[in-house]
Amino acid sequence: MASNKKLLVLPGDGIGPEVMAQVARVAEWFDRKRAIGFDLEEDLVGGAAIDAHGTPLADATMDKALAADAVLLGAVGGPKWDDLPFEQKPERGLLRLRKEMALFANLRPALCFAPLVEASTLKPEVVSGLDLMIVRELTGGVYFGEPRGIETLSDGQRRGVNTQVYTTEEIRRVAAVAFELARKRANKLCSVEKANVMESGVLWREEVTRLHGESYLDVELSHMYADNCAMQLVRAPKQFDVIVTDNLFGDMLSDAAAMLTGSLGMLPSASLGAADETGRRRALYEPVHGSAPDIAGRGKANPLACVLSFAMLLRYSLDQGAEADLLENAVEVVLASGKRTPDILQPGHEAVSTEAMGDAVLAELDRLGG
């Protein structure tokens, strides 16, 4: 019998713990009913770790993350920790995980479930049937570039500095992930930068084009400036299949793409490292939404982005595509039944709490695959 998969669960702050509680129930269901064994271990990240250990990610937690088969993360941050010095903020815990696990490829699928077509702020015909994937570079660019900092100039003014920087290899490895994904989908890749104003964008475009010529001529490649891409995402998002872009543009474009699906509460993500000799990749799964402190602890949070992140874990870390499909189908049926958390509630639907949404997903899993 295959050994149990070791999952490190980091609920984090705000709505993180309450959405993660529902995911733990889903994992337990797969463990019990579907012969995929899980060992879940929970630890602290973000503000919760600051309160307990004085740091947003303890070294011991980092070690556990490196040793796990996969990490599941809820959300980090909140007003309580807003005034901390930059290096001690909750977000630094998440960025350290990404950097030290070398999770350079962040997959953010924006899929509009049929029952949610009306929940989007965009017209139904614009979003119905939408299925696009943003591949965001996650360990480079302006998030990590040096030099960085805030300095005081001789005339007393202050100067804030960040550096946008990419190397050939950083661009090629994330582009390769995106090309491979495109091959399994509609075979179209759009590479996004601002080569009109940034040298790093010029290099990005050149390297993606070169890799395409070397290994991926079967994939249809196009290029787009990031500002135009933001506009095209809300104008005609179905023109896209896979988008590959840098860390900062990917952060912004994925929030925009999230709203095409009805709610930020619906968007999952997978962050992957390089494959080792056995094909295994380090991986972290998290909802794209943040900690939403305004609604935390009130049973209002939508757990589905986190549940769908667990489906991505099944697909990408455990190679259990059929089990991931089962979970995604369960979510779609629950949505079709009209059960909605407040973020996707529409007239005529039934308002449910975070936990009741978890109940509904479990009941549907029992019906479909128990």
Q: Where does this chain bind Mg ion (CB under 5 A)? A: 251
The residues near 208 (Cβ < 8 Å, ≥ 6 apart) are 171, 175, 191, 221, 223, 244
> Is residue 91 part of the contact set for ligand IPM (CB under 6 A)?
yes
> Per-residue x/- mask for ligand IPM, residues 203 to 242, rule CB under 6 A?
----------------------------------------
Q: What is the CA radius of gyration of the chain?
A: 20
> Is residue 13 part of the contact set for ligand IPM (CB under 6 A)?
no
Residue 359 interacting entry, from ligand IPM, Mg ion, none, C-beta within 5 to 8 Å by type: none
Kindly state the tokens that stand for 266: 């619906």
Chain residues 284-343 in contact with ligand IPM, contact rule CB under 6 A: 288, 290
Query: Considering beta carbons, is residue 109 or 290 the nearer one to ligand IPM?
Result: 290
In whole angstroms, the minimum distance from the beta carbon of 251 to Mg ion comes to 4
Q: Which of 282, 211, 304, 244 is nearest to 108 (CA)?
A: 244
Chain centre to alpha carbon of residue 12: 15
Query: Considering beta carbons, is residue 268 or 290 the nearer one to ligand IPM?
Result: 290
Contact 130, 90 (CB under 8 A): no
Query: Considering beta carbons, is residue 230 or 363 the nearer one to ligand IPM?
Result: 230
In whole angstroms, the minimum distance from the beta carbon of 234 to ligand IPM comes to 18
Catalogue the long-range contacts made by 193-202 (C-beta closer than 8 Å, 24 or more residues apart).
Answer: 193/223, 193/225, 193/226, 193/245, 193/246, 193/249, 194/225, 194/226, 194/227, 194/249, 195/223, 195/225, 196/225, 198/164, 200/141, 200/164, 200/165, 200/166, 200/246
Active centre residues (catalytic):
143, 194, 227, 251, 255
> Is residue 19 part of the contact set for ligand IPM (CB under 6 A)?
no
In whole angstroms, the minimum distance from the beta carbon of 78 to ligand IPM comes to 11
The one among 94, 103, 177, 335 contacting ligand IPM by CB under 6 A: 94
The one among 69, 137, 251, 328 contacting ligand IPM by CB under 6 A: 251
In whole angstroms, the minimum distance from the beta carbon of 107 to ligand IPM comes to 12
Residue 94 interacting entry, from Mg ion, ligand IPM, none, C-beta within 5 to 8 Å by type: ligand IPM
Q: Which amino acid is at 200?
A: S
Contact 28, 306 (CB under 8 A): no
In whole angstroms, the minimum distance from the beta carbon of 301 to ligand IPM comes to 16
Using alpha carbons, list the distances in angstroms from residue 86 to 83, 91, 138, 148, 301: 8, 9, 19, 12, 28
Query: Considering beta carbons, is residue 208 or 288 the nearer one to ligand IPM?
Result: 288
First to last CA, the chain: 20
* Contacts to ligand IPM by CB under 6 A: 91, 94, 251, 288, 290
